[in-house]
A and B are shown apart, each in its own frame.
Chain A
């Protein structure tokens, strides 16, 4: 599978979750695991550009696909991706644990709806749980990301 533009050998253990493979085999610990039953969205990554929950997939199912994780959005110390930048400017993160999942979901949302309506924003982020922010600042961040993406 190709992860953040780099090819990796197939996972040896067929029962390994994609989330565990990314975190513990490839060292991409920016993808977080909050529930392991597909509800919280902390483990969201892009599979061929579309958001998926990496805790609901086996790593071997990602063979032949392009996976993008939070680490793949911005170059090492280069500028943040517009969605990341918008989250910073909007104080859309506190503890930061759900943040990579939200950012990946919003990247997916904006790819589908470059100018989302208020309802599309709510629905676009309604697959991710946040316990710190109350979502208000995350909504603001999505709006800001639209501006920054222009």
Chain B
């Protein structure tokens, strides 16, 4: 393969329409749609004693008001998406609550009106009476089980899981040194700039349901809607149009609106649209990161870990729609790039009266990295060793791959690192970081992480060469800004020997490609990217086969270059790919575009029927890629910071990243992913924190108080790469979407600890947190 586009900094093909204001986000679609507003519970835990919607129903402009009693599926629990044997007490909510609400923001009624303004007016007329119940709000309180979130879930424990590699008790008993740490991570929020939105239309004559949804998984939404409404999947179309950021929580099915909006459209015979507002995004969209870890580590005189025990509680929130994927990932990722010969991890997934949790960029990994890196810093402090040296002594060496960690992974396999070079990451990061800046109060932090990416089960792609010679390609998974249309065009263009500008990619539209799973877990490039590669290669093979007959050559002697199929070494002997596309479809009726060349009286190079056994018309193919296991990306981040001794303002003096995601498809896109990830990590480590009070009220449900960083808070990020190709997939790629976020908390904790001299055991921090910590260490 002559690689031209793979690896090149190709500028994005998506940009033009987005820059001109011609993007198509779900709320941009109107077509006379009715609009909706939810009535949500103001209580974190309460029994509903009555719901009166009569005044709302009578308001002019209101078309319908639904409560659970009005829905044929009102009594059905929403799907538990990822069941697991250890999830013994999984619970999911109903579309609209009718009995008990278990978090502030849980949906109770749904108002549909001629406009959003009227729907909001009518929502205020809905009278719901509640009898408040005791609230369980932190993971520690939940684990004490003095009060229950679900009456029938003893101890508030949804799931418990214990895994052990080696013999931790024995190794701890024999260790020269032992140390215990208590570490805490609080909830944050993904906060994509576009909230969620759903638009639906039902064409009763065709029995066709069309749904635009700002989801990360249109194929799964389609499957679910088909089941719920008893329709063949072919009668349900789900499209994720332009999606304004996802970062995880847009892959939940179903949020209540994803059922209610299509249902309303079918009932009312008009298009219906619901667009979330920012306040409800804060309470009704899944969150993540709340965990409390109790760690014990045993180590030798050189700082080598001989045993690690981690017992942690994961804050599930009020329900477990996403199963126990998050604590499974944390449990698997605590060891990170380090050799831990004896490792035991136990987690309990506990219910609280807060918004449910599901993966948010990083998904269980930032906490795992924080735990491991804080532990290594503690070892260095205990032995008065250099923090870098302690890490170096524990890193898995480059010759140890494949390296089996031996604990469960999120795809049902166990964790096996496929490739990497962790010492090289560390060395390069130190070079890039450079000398310590002058002045007092400077702290250095560093963290190394791995990330299981490219999880299965599979993705697919369809690639077709049109008779114009242009190429169209489609896959099921949508983009939320990751430049799918550009990078997959690069992959396809290489296989077909065409210009990248001649490949038009559609993603996340079940009308174009109905199969697949979704965009999450840094998996797009690995799964859909390789599926594109597979499908394009099949098309290239078909093109060679057809052209070979016309060129009287062996298919193996042909190559696809510059939009032509030609004989290697004799570039004049060839034909345009467009002509091959014509010949691929024998026709009776020439319909233009050169198709007369494929009619039945045209010259044919072979006897027999035009389409022979096993052949299919069209220069097209559908290919799939199903990974045998996750492929493991890795990286090292390091920083110098300064903390103002009076105001505790954080100044990040330098921040460097050395990253390894295998072969890089597009360095521009990758740089954007990393820069954006680090910024999100900095926000999550020092500015953003979801502040629930003891009554389960989220006290900062707005951008006024949930402090997402602006440009003024984010420093320049210096980036370097190494490439250890994955041996698991044809392209040798690993995922990169989440990498930037993962180690930031660990890096800043280490740096701030050194800068301030105060022990850092929790995330996120803030100037206020540091001030409070200082007061607690120096009372009076």
Contacts and interface: CB of A to CB of B under 8 A. Distances in A.
**Do the two chains bind?**
yes
A128 B714 CA distance: 13
Contact of B483 (A34, A42, A94): A94
A133 B683 CA distance: 13
Interface string B169-192: 000000000000000000000111
Contacts of B25: 29, 32, 97
B19 A131 contact: no
A8 interface: no
Interface in A1-45: 13, 15-16, 20, 23-24, 27-37, 39-40, 42
Interface residues of B, number: 55
A103 interface: yes
Contacts of B672: 91, 94, 132-134, 137
A125 B713 CA distance: 12
A88 B567 CA distance: 38
A24 to B, nearest CB: 7
Given A37-B702, A39-B703, A95-B193, A129 B242 contact: no
A59 interface: no
B702 A35 contact: yes
B194 A34 contact: yes
Interface stretch (B9-17, B322-330, B641-649): B9-17
A34 to B, nearest CB: 5
A126 interface: yes
Contacts of B442: none
A73 to B, nearest CB: 8
Contact of B20 (A20, A30, A123, A130): A30
Contacts of A135: 675, 679, 710-711, 714
Contact of A32 (B244, B481, B675): B244
B507 to A, nearest CB: 13
B424 to A, nearest CB: 25
Nearest to B191: A131
B702 A134 contact: no
A127 B195 CA distance: 19
Interface string A66-106: 00011101100000100010011101011111111001000
Question: How extensive is the interface on chain A, given as a class?
Answer: 35 or more
A126 B702 contact: no
B438 to A, nearest CB: 21
A89 B11 contact: yes
A37 B278 contact: yes
B480 A34 contact: no
A13 B115 CA distance: 12
A147 interface: no
B245 A128 contact: no
Given A88-B11, A88-B15, A95-B245, A42 B193 contact: yes
B189 to A, nearest CB: 11
A139 interface: yes
A122 interface: yes
A101 to B, nearest CB: 9
A136 B716 contact: yes
Contacts of A96: 14-15, 18-19, 23, 242, 244, 481
A74 B669 CA distance: 25
B622 to A, nearest CB: 28
Nearest to B675: A134
B16 A88 contact: yes
A71 to B, nearest CB: 4
B18 A74 contact: no
B30 interface: yes
Contacts of B195: 34
A56 B410 CA distance: 45
11 contacts: A23-B28, A37-B704, A95-B193, A95-B242, A96-B18, A96-B244, A98-B244, A99-B18, A128-B710, A132-B672, A133-B676
Top 9 A-B residue pairs of the complex, sorted by shortest distance between their CB atoms: A30-B21, A97-B244, A95-B481, A134-B679, A96-B18, A94-B481, A70-B21, A39-B703, A134-B675
